[in-house]
Amino acid sequence: MEESATAGAPGSRELLDRLLNLAIDEDVGPGDATTMALFPRPRTARARFTARAAGVMAGTEAVRRLFFLLGERFAGDPGAVRLGILKAEGESFSPGDGLLDIQGDARIILMGERISLNLLQRLCAVAALTREFVRRVAGTGAEIYDTRKTVPGHRLLDKLAVRAGGGRNHRLGLYDMILIKDNHLAAFGGPAGAVRAAREKSPLPIMVEVDTPGQLEEALRAEPDYILLDNMAPPALAEAVAAARRLSAELGLRRPQLEASGGIGLETAAAAAASGVDRISVGSLTHAPGSVDIGLDFEPGTA
């Protein structure tokens, strides 16, 4: 997939607004009872998002849009609060660093405090974990890709965070790439026939999963765009890469990009990359990133 695929996703703004409005409905509902009891009228405040642990910045647009929607809904003013960016997307930060400044209606800031922190803490963790994977494979030629193992509804944000960390995006969903996996092959038959059938029906890029040397040769003959080497240890990956290069040259075929996938962690990423694969897809980037500790603190006397 192209690096710009996520940013250009159809309806990306609508998807983001839908997610944020659901979060507002869940957390704020018809209104913040505490805030409205204490501040029945607008009151200007200043606050700062500050890192309490190291990470990589991600999620600034989601936070900006969140406060836009909160201001529009509860203050009748989408510009009720303003964000100042202290750390740009993809910029590393340390404990104590300021990330974002926010100024405006204290009521709107307070309403959005927990939602914005939930977003930032997760997305900065995704970006930080991705950055570490990218560091582990530096110099090998392999690139780190995400997967569809994302929080339901959060995929666009998760994938943008991966990009902030220096990774690349795999397919966005089931609609923008042909990926023929083991269950497809179990129902259809061999990889060569499946690739040819898919090519007759769709102009999309085609990836096919293989598990054995026999499947690899059969897949190569059909010339897919990508071959997924699934759940192979680094020595088996190296053998598959060498076989793909040799067979492609012998048969006069265009060699597809080779992707390693399945159980690759920080400890094994370098060895997988050293096998010569072009891509490594890592589910843990988005299904188990952890959380970066970030706080939102008001300036004394401003709220």
DSSP secondary structure of the chain: --TTTTTT-TTHHHHHHHHHHHHHHHHTTT--HHHHHH-SS--EEEEEEEESS-EE---HHHHHHHHHHHHHHHTS-TTSEEEEESS-TT-EE-TT-EEEEEEEEHHHHHHHHHHHHHHHHHHHHHHHHHHHHHHHTTTSS-EEE--S---TT-HHHHHHHHHHTT-B---SSTTSSEEE-HHHHHHH--HHHHHHHHHHH--S-EEEEE-SHHHHHHHHHH--SEEEEET--HHHHHHHHHHHHHHHHHHT-PPPEEEEESS--HHHHHHHHHTT-SEEE-THHHHS-----EEEEEPTT--
Per cent of the chain over pLDDT 90 is 94
In angstroms, the CA 248 to CA 267 distance is 31
Rounded to an integer, the average pLDDT of 12-36 is: 96
User: Is 230 an active-site residue?
Assistant: yes
Quick: pLDDT tens for 42-100: 999 999 999 999 999 999 999 999 999 999 999 999 999 999 999 999 999 999 999 99
In angstroms, the CA 112 to CA 276 distance is 46
Catalytic residue of the set 48, 149, 196, 221: 149
Q: Give Cα 48 to chain centroid, integer Å.
A: 25
Rounded to an integer, the average pLDDT of 144-165 is: 96
Catalytic residue of the set 32, 97, 146, 209: 209
Catalytic residue of the set 181, 245, 297, 299: 181
Residue 122 has pLDDT above 70, yes or no: yes
pLDDT of res. 293: 98
Residue 8 has pLDDT above 90, yes or no: no
Residue 5 has pLDDT above 90, yes or no: no
In angstroms, the CA 72 to CA 272 distance is 49
Quick: pLDDT tens for 223-282: 999 999 999 999 999 999 999 999 999 999 999 999 999 999 999 999 999 999 999 999
Residue 185 has pLDDT above 80, yes or no: yes
User: Is 201 an active-site residue?
Assistant: no
In angstroms, the CA 57 to CA 90 distance is 5
Domains of the chain: 12-128+290-298 (3.90.1170.20), 135-287 (3.20.20.70)
Catalytic residue of the set 27, 230, 239, 293: 230
Residue 154 has pLDDT above 90, yes or no: yes
Catalytic residue of the set 52, 114, 245, 246: 114
pLDDT of res. 282: 98
pLDDT band at 12 (very low <50, low <70, confident <90, very high): confident
Residue 6 has pLDDT above 70, yes or no: no
Structural tokens at position 235: 């020595």
Report DSSP state, residue 76: S
Rounded to an integer, the average pLDDT of 5-22 is: 78
